[in-house]
A and B are shown apart, each in its own frame.
Chain A
Amino acid sequence: MRELSTEILVVGAGPAGIAAAVSAERAGARALLVDMQAEPGGQIWRGQWNNATDRAARRWLTALRGSPVATRYGLRLVDFAAPGLAVFDGADGPLRVRCERLIVAAGARERLLPFPGWTLPGVFGAGGLQVLVKNGWPVAGQRIVVAGSGPLLLAAAATLRKAGAQVLCIAEQTGAADLARFAAGLAPHPGKWLQAAALRGRLAGVAYRCNAWVERAEGTERLESVRLRAGRSVERIACDALAVGFGLVPNTEIAQLLGCELRDGAVVVDVHQHSSVAGIYCAGEICGIGGVDQALAQGEVAGRAAAGSGERPRALRRDCARSARFAQTLRRHFALRDELRELATADTVLCRCENVRYADAAACRSQRDARLQTRLGMGHCQARICGAAGEFLFGWTAATPRPPLAPAPLTCFTEPTSDPEPPAQESA
C-alpha cells in the first residue's frame, strides 16, 4: 500500500481547505491538501480551477498554484488506521497518509426532505443539479422549477439559466418578513450584497416567490408537474425538472469519527479553529454553515494555527467576526417551517438506499430503532440523506458514523504487506 507523510494533512480542497493549506505553508509548515474531486475548488468553486471567473476563487486558486503545498486529488478519505494515519481510496488503490496535525475542511451537503414524488426521475437536489450542469449535463430549453430554501437557490437558478434552461420560478419557503430582514442584514456585508444583486440581475424576469414550497411532484414515469403551495393558494406548474434543496448540512462525519465534539450539528472549535481533540483543526461549513467568506477566514486561521502561528492578525479577526455574523443571519432567517414536516405521506420513501417508507420509520422510537427495524440509513449513502431528514422530521439524533466513511474496497483495510516507501513530501 502506498504511503506518504506530511506535517499537516488538509482534507477537503474547497475554499476552507485551500486557505488552510496555503496559509499553513506561508507560516512555514509542510501541508498536503487532498480532495475526492479531480481538481480543487470544492462545490462552490467547481469548474473554477481552469477558468476562474469568481474573484476570490481566482485569488486563492492562483495562490494555491504558486504555493509549495503538495496536492492529491481524486482520493476519498475512508478511515483512520491510527490517530494521524489516514487511509484514502482512489483510482490507483489505497493511499495512507501520516500526519502530525489534521485540518478537516469537508464542507457541506444539501438537505433533502421527503415529499410525495420526490424520488421521480426529473427531481434533483438544487445543488446537485447545479453540479451536473457545471459538469455539462444539458438543460437547455428545459422548464425547471427551483424550490426549497436558502441563498443557494439563487445561485443554482442562475447556473441553470446560464445553461439555457427556462427557470419557471424560484420558490423559497421562508416568509417575506424574514427575507426582508435577511436582505437588510446583508448591509454590513457589501460582498454579499453585490453577489445577491448580481444573481438577481442574472435572474431578471424569474418569479421569486417567498412563503412558497413544493407539496408534491407529479408524473407517471417521470416528473411532469409540481404542486406549489404559496400561502393559502395551490398551483400546478408543468415542468421538466425540479431542483429542490432545503439548505446545507455540515459534513461532520470525519470529525465525529475522530471524536470531535459537536453542537447543533456542527463541530465545536475554539478561536484557532482547534476542535476538542488535540491536533485536529476544523474549518469552513463543518463548523456551521456560513458561506465562502467564513470558510476562507476560518481556513486561514486553521492553517496558521496548525503551523504553530497562533496569532491572528487584526484583519483576519475582523473577517472571522463579520462572517460569523452573516452565518447567524443565515440561520435565523432561513429556519425551516413546520409545514415541511407534514408533506410526506405514509408511502413516501424516506431512505432511498434501502427503500424505507416514511410510515415505517415514523413508527420507530429513534434513528437507532429505525436503523435496526427498517434498515433506514444502512445503505450505500450511510444515512447522509435520510439522517438529516430524520433530524428535521422526527427530532432524532443522528447515529455516530462508523468506518468506513464511504464504501471502499476491502484492500483499504488490510495492513501493508511490505515496508512502506520512505516517507517523502511530494510536490504537486
Chain B
Amino acid sequence: MNQDVVIVGGGIVGCAIADRLARAGVAVCLVERDVLGGAATAASMGHLVVLDDDPAELTLSSYSCALWRELAPLLPDNADYRTTGTLWIARDAAEMAEAERKRTRLAAAGVNGELLTAQQLAACEPALAPNLAGGLRVAADAVVYPPVVAAWLARRAVAAGARLRCGVAVSAIGDGEVVLDDGSRLRARHIVVANGCSVPELLSGAPVRRRKGHLLITTRLQPQVRHQLVELGYVQSAHGEASESVAFNVQPRPTGQLLLGSTREFDAPAGSVTPRLIARLVERAVEFLPGLAGRTALRAWTGFRPTTPDHRPLIGPWPLRAGVWLAGGHEGLGVTTALGTAELLAAQLLDLPLPFDAAPYAPGRFTSAVASHVH
C-alpha cells in the first residue's frame, strides 16, 4: 500500500509527527514494533522544561513548551498534565549567580523566571533542606504522563486518517519503501525515522548513542512538594561527558507519589537496575529533601536516552539517502520537544515556512563523520 509518509517508531516523537502530518492532510502510516510510548517515552519523567544552556536547545524547548500549553486543555485527564513549574535550586553563591544568568537567558527567549532568596525558597517548598542558597522559579514549566500522551496523539492521527501498525518492526529502509519484519513492504515518498535509540539500526552511522538513566517512584502520600525540583548542577550532569553522573531531580505526581531522578551512564548494560546508582540517586535526593528518608519506594526502573555528540537532536533530512528524514537524538528532552520537533520536521517536509532556523538540528552537521563511519 502507498502512502505519502511512513513514520518508524511510535514513541512520543513519532506519534507527534504522525499527528501533525495527518492533520495537515498527509497520508501517514505510523509503524511501532511493540506498544505506543513503550520505550524511552515510558521510562521518562515527563518534565516539560525550558533548557537554556545552548541557544538551539532554548529555542526548541521554549517553542515546544508553548505548544504544550496550547495542547493541555485538549489532553485527557489521565495524561496528568500539571503546571507544577520548575524550581532550580542553588546550593551556594556560585550557583545563585548561575541562577541569575539563567534568568537572564530565559528572559531573552520570553520565558519568565523569578529569583528566590533562601527564605523565599524555604517558604515556597518547606520540605527542602535549610542550608540552600536560593533558587529560580520558572512557573510555566509543567509535567505530563508521556505514554498516555503518545497514544492519544496517535489516536488523534488515526482520527485524521493516519494508519497505525503496532506489533510489527521495520527491519530495513529501501528506496522509497520500508521492509517490515513480517516480510511485507510499505511504499512511501518520505520515510521519517523516529525510533529513538534504535535509529542506528536502520541508518548506519547515525550518531546516536544510548545513555542509561535510573528512576525511582515512591508510594502515594500527601503531597510533600509542589514544583518539579532540580538542582542547578543538573546541566553539568546532563551535558557533561562523564561516564556516570547523578543529579537531584524530583517530580510530584498527581497521585501523591514522588518521582526521583536522575542518573546518566554511557556504555551501561541493558535493562537491569544497578543498586549502586539507585543508592547514589536516593542519597542525592535526601541531601536536598531530608524528609524523603522516611518515604517508601514502590518501584525503580531504567531507560535509555538517545544522545548525540553535541547534545542537540537530529531533525531534518538524512543526507545519505533521499526521501529519508530523521527525528531523533533528543536525549532527555524528547517529551518536552516532541511537539516542536513535529512542527519543525513537518515544515521542512511539506516545504512550509520554518518556525525557526532548522540548521542547528540538521542531521547533515555530522555528515562527514557519518560518511567516514559508513566507509
Contacts and interface: CB of A to CB of B under 8 A. Distances in A.
A409 B38 contact: no
Interface size class of A (residues with CB under 8 A): 20 to 34
A402 B300 contact: yes
Nearest to A409: B296
Nearest to A259: B272
B283 A414 contact: yes
A411 interface: yes
Nearest to A367: B35
Contacts of A415: 276, 279, 283
Contacts of A379: 298
B275 A79 contact: yes
B320 interface: no
Q: Is the interface of B mostly helix, strand, loop or mixed?
A: mixed
A372 B37 CA distance: 8
Contact of A413 (B78, B151, B278): B278
A408 B296 contact: yes
B194 interface: no
Contacts of A382: 298-299
Given A368-B35, A413-B282, A407 B296 contact: yes
B293 to A, nearest CB: 6
Interface in A326-368: 364-366, 368
Contacts of B207: none
B219 interface: yes
A410 interface: yes
A352 B334 CA distance: 32
A372 B297 contact: no
Contacts of A373: 147-148, 151
Nearest to A78: B297
B166 interface: yes
A368 B167 CA distance: 13
B166 A365 contact: yes
Nearest to B41: A372
A310 interface: no
Contacts of B279: 81, 413-415
B189 interface: no
Contacts of A402: 273, 299-301
Contact of B275 (A368, A375, A413): A413
Residue in B218, B279, B286 with the greatest tally of chain A CB atoms within 10 Å: B279
A178 B34 CA distance: 40
B111 interface: no
B173 interface: no
Contacts of A369: 35-36, 38
Contacts, number: 85
B299 A372 contact: no
A364 B167 CA distance: 12
A380 interface: yes
Contact of B34 (A368, A374, A408, A410): A368
B282 A414 contact: yes
Interface string B271-310: 0010110110011001000001111111111000000000
A413 B216 CA distance: 11
Interface string B214-241: 0010110000000000000000000000
A412 B300 CA distance: 13
Interface in B56-110: 78
Contact of B297 (A82, A374, A409): A409
A380 B294 CA distance: 17
Contacts of B167: 365
A65 to B, nearest CB: 35
B42 interface: yes
A90 interface: no
A380 B300 contact: no
Contact of A410 (B148, B273, B286): B286
A412 B278 CA distance: 10
A131 B166 CA distance: 45
A375 B218 CA distance: 15
A378 B297 contact: no
Given A365-B167, A372-B42, A403-B273, A413 B37 contact: no
Contacts of B301: 402
A45 interface: no
B67 to A, nearest CB: 23
A404 B283 contact: no
Interface of A: 79-82, 364-366, 368-369, 372-375, 378-380, 382, 402-404, 407-415
21 contacts: A81-B275, A81-B279, A366-B34, A369-B38, A372-B147, A373-B147, A373-B148, A373-B151, A380-B298, A382-B299, A402-B273, A403-B273, A404-B297, A404-B298, A407-B297, A408-B297, A409-B296, A410-B294, A413-B278, A413-B297, A414-B282
User: What are the 7 closest A-B residue pairs judged by CB atoms, nearest first?
Assistant: A372-B147, A369-B35, A81-B275, A415-B279, A407-B296, A413-B282, A413-B278
Given A79-B275, A369-B36, A373-B147, 10 more contacts: A365-B35, A365-B166, A365-B167, A372-B148, A403-B275, A409-B295, A410-B293, A410-B295, A413-B275, A414-B279
